[in-house]
């Protein structure tokens, strides 16, 4: 290597060093780069007041050593591409690390996420599923979403695809609020002023309010100075809320039946068809106060401060019901958009279907609990539930509470039951006379005459057959109301009594997995002991009652009635086997107490004295009521019509014979 070559290399090396020094940033430029670096960290830490979005862009680069000019060129191209899809919200669409924000109050644990600014999961505290797993009402997944659509540069955007920024930094911590305290958490969606700068004075805000001891979570959607970035002709936005509800209870069949959407305009509460075969849907075009994704014992409800303008609701049954899935729920709600700084307030309710917990909000949320419909629910609301809550205040076992409730109901119904028994006793003592009357009319065509004769005898004896039926009819609403109350009572959930671990579902003492034709379909794959005992008690009571019943009237009909009375308990065995153990236990108690009452009635009511009184009544003149007179007149008309019809259907020769005979009689006279 000669001297000239060495000098050339030295000069070339000096030139490279000089050029590197020349293009290196100055002190001011280094400060500027430091400011950009600080902005990057500020955005990553969710600071809503970041002055520059270049940091967000820089965090997406895979190679930090790329030349600055080339880097800006690539970012510009990417921003243009994103702008064609997201308009003024291009930077908000860039995927960033979504650190969850966890909030706990006394009743639930809630997780918020940056993507969509929405609630990601809701887990109730202090309650478990039937198999001791956490009760999760809302969980992010394929069928879970919460967000609304709007237009920017005539592009339809959805908040679910955009990243919100928390106003305060809650990274790596759990927010805890309890008692009467509350906290507000703001998540904001900012538009772009330019490629590198957001407009921090304009945003869409989700303002959450979490209260310490309340199942409600407040949400206010605020639109602040946003009309420069979204289309001004928008008068409303469409809020979509959907989730896939999960199985929480032991009986999948019962929970599927109870799971549907309820909704209300704050006056009337309606619901989509429960247990649809292939799903159900409804479009509600008038104002709506609240909408609820209701399960058997839990509900997720969205309540407007004022009203939703309209709603479309869909319930769908997943084809693959694995992973504890029940039904897919979806609602599309219309929110009014009124001006550049409008807001819409609402509340979530994530909690149990507990009557008192829902009633306290005074918007008829409690009416989504099945208590017997408008006709019978008043019995549960104003009688059964207050009594139940009274004894619940003593912290008694719920088996004992049901016993006390049953005793009180039977005491209240005691006069009606006694009237029914006394009427049956009167029918028994006149049974020989009724059978004698029946023998006088053996022919089928004389059935009407026989019935008239028996009714005339009853009037003469002072017996009112309907007196025994009326008390039974008056007791039926209570029996039906209890049929609704126990399976819907949240208080019984996971409460044990004797061998039953959970009074809200069936008490299985034996089960099998093999499908047995007819038995598995009608009865099920388990044996509920309370249901079995209730059926045996009902059969025993029916047998005893049939022996004491009068068999007057149509013997064939009476036999059919008795067989029906024996068949009904067997049918109930299949129906109740999958129902609440508390309900079967209640009906078992009803039968046992009825046995005891029957023994008391037999001691109180002397049938010999009843017979003597009936004999005395037969000597008194019978006065017909207007109703009896009308009934007798009606029966007579029916007999005349039947006789005329019979003569009309006679053969012509026989009719002529009858006519000739009548003519001969007239001549003879």
Rounded to whole angstroms, the Cα distance separating 190 from 206 reads: 12
**Per-residue confidence (pLDDT) for residue 56, from 0 to 100:** 34
List the structure tokens of 462.
């002072």
In terms of C-beta density within 10 A (0-12 exposed, 13-18 middle, 19 or more buried), how is residue 398 classed? buried
Instruction: Map residue 573 onto helix, strand or coil.
Output: helix
The CATH code of the domain at 101-369 is: 2.70.98.90
Q: Looking at residues 74-78, what average pLDDT do you find? A: 73
In terms of C-beta density within 10 A (0-12 exposed, 13-18 middle, 19 or more buried), how is residue 42 classed? middle
Question: Which residues, at least 6 apart from 518, have a Cβ–Cβ distance to it below 8 Å?
Answer: none
**Per-residue confidence (pLDDT) for residue 649, from 0 to 100:** 58
Rounded to whole angstroms, the Cα distance separating 148 from 157 reads: 8
**Per-residue confidence (pLDDT) for residue 63, from 0 to 100:** 34
Q: Looking at residues 260-268, what average pLDDT do you find? A: 85
Predicted confidence (pLDDT) per residue in 344-372, tens digit? 999 999 999 999 999 999 999 999 998 88
**Per-residue confidence (pLDDT) for residue 49, from 0 to 100:** 38
pTM value? 0.74
The pair phi, psi for residue 177, each rounded to 5°, is -135, 140
**Per-residue confidence (pLDDT) for residue 31, from 0 to 100:** 46
pLDDT exceeds cutoff 80 at 601: yes
Candidate from 167-181, 410-424, 547-561, 632-646 with smallest mean pLDDT: 547-561
Predicted confidence (pLDDT) per residue in 448-487, tens digit? 777 777 777 777 777 776 665 666 677 788 888 888 899 8
The CB density around residue 172, as the number of other CB atoms within 10 Å, is 6
Quick one: CA dihedral 659, 663, 664, 665, positive or negative? positive
List the structure tokens of 448.
């009407």
Contact 326, 248 (CB under 8 A): no
**Per-residue confidence (pLDDT) for residue 375, from 0 to 100:** 81
**Per-residue confidence (pLDDT) for residue 588, from 0 to 100:** 93
Average pLDDT across the chain, whole number: 78
Q: Looking at residues 76-82, what average pLDDT do you find? A: 82
Rounded to whole angstroms, the Cα distance separating 442 from 134 reads: 70
Contact 223, 341 (CB under 8 A): yes
Reference 315, options 344, 335, 294; nearest CA is 294
Residues of each domain in the chain carrying CATH 2.70.98.90: 101-369
- The structure tokens 């109180």 sit at 604
Rounded to whole angstroms, the Cα distance separating 597 from 463 reads: 23
Q: Looking at residues 119-143, what average pLDDT do you find? A: 88
Q: Looking at residues 407-431, what average pLDDT do you find? A: 82
């Amino acid at each position: 290597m000669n001297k000239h070559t060495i000098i050339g290399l030295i000069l070339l090396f000096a030139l490279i060093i000089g050029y590197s020094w020349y293009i290196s940033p100055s002190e001011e430029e280094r400060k500027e780069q430091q400011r950009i670096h600080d902005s990057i960290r500020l955005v990553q830490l969710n600071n809503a007041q970041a002055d520059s979005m270049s940091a967000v862009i820089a965090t997406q680069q895979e190679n930090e050593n790329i030349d600055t000019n080339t880097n800006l060129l690539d970012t510009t191209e990417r921003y243009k591409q994103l702008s064609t899809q997201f308009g003024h919200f291009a930077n908000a669409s860039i995927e960033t690390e979504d650190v969850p924000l966890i909030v706990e109050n006394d009743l639930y644990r809630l997780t918020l996420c940056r993507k969509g600014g929405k609630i990601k999961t809701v887990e109730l505290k202090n309650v478990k599923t039937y198999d001791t797993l956490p009760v999760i009402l809302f969980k992010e997944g394929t069928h879970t979403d919460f967000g609304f659509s709007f237009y920017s540069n005539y592009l339809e955007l959805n908040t679910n695809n955009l990243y919100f920024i928390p106003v305060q930094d809650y990274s790596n911590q759990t927010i805890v609020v309890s008692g009467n305290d509350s906290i507000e958490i703001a998540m904001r969606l900012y538009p772009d002023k330019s490629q590198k700068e957001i407009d921090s004075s304009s945003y869409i805000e989700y303002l959450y309010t979490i209260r310490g001891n309340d199942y409600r979570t407040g949400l206010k959607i605020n639109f602040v100075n946003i009309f420069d970035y979204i289309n001004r002709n928008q008068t409303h936005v469409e809020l979509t809320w959907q989730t896939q509800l999960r199985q929480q209870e032991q009986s999948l069949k019962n929970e599927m039946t109870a799971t549907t959407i309820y909704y209300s305009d704050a006056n009337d509460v309606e619901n989509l068809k429960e247990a649809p075969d292939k799903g159900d849907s409804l479009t509600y075009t008038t104002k709506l106060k609240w909408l609820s994704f209701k399960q058997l014992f839990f509900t997720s409800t969205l309540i407007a401060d004022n009203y939703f303008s309209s709603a479309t609701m869909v319930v769908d049954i997943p084809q693959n019901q694995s992973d504890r899935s029940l039904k897919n729920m979806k609602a599309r709600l219309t929110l009014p958009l009124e001006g550049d700084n409008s807001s819409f307030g609402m509340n979530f309710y994530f909690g149990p279907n507990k009557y008192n917990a829902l009633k306290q909000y005074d918007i008829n949320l409690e009416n989504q609990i099945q208590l017997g419909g408008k006709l019978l629910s008043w019995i549960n609301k104003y009688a059964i539930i207050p009594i139940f809550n009274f004894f619940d205040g003593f912290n008694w076992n719920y088996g004992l509470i049901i016993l006390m409730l049953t005793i009180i109901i039977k005491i209240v119904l005691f006069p009606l039951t006694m009237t029914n028994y006394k009427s049956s006793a009167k029918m028994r003592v006149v049974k020989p006379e009724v059978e004698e009357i029946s023998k006088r009319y053996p022919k089928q065509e004389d059935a009407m005459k026989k019935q008239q004769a028996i009714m005339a005898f009853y009037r003469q004896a002072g017996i009112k057959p309907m007196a025994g039926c009326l008390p039974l009819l008056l007791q039926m609403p209570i029996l039906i109301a209890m049929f609704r109350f126990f399976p819907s009572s949240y208080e019984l959930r996971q409460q044990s009594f004797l061998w039953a671990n959970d009074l809200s579902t069936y008490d299985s003492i034996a089960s099998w997995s093999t499908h047995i034709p007819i038995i598995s379909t009608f009865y099920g794959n388990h044996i509920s002991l309370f249901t079995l005992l209730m059926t045996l008690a009902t059969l025993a009571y029916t047998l005893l009652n049939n022996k004491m019943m009068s068999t007057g009237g149509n013997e064939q009909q009476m036999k059919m009635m008795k067989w029906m009375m024996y068949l009904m308990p067997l049918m109930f065995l299949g129906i109740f086997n999958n129902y609440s153990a508390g309900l079967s236990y209640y009906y078992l108690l009803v039968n046992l107490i009825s046995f005891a009452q029957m023994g008391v009635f037999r001691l109180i009511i002397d049938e010999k004295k009843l017979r003597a009184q009936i004999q005395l009544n037969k000597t008194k003149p019978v006065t017909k009521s207007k109703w009896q007179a009308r009934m007798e007149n009606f029966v007579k008309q029916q007999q005349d019509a039947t006789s005329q019809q019979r003569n009309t259907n006679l053969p012509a020769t026989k009719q002529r014979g009858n006519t000739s005979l009548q003519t001969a009689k007239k001549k003879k006279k």
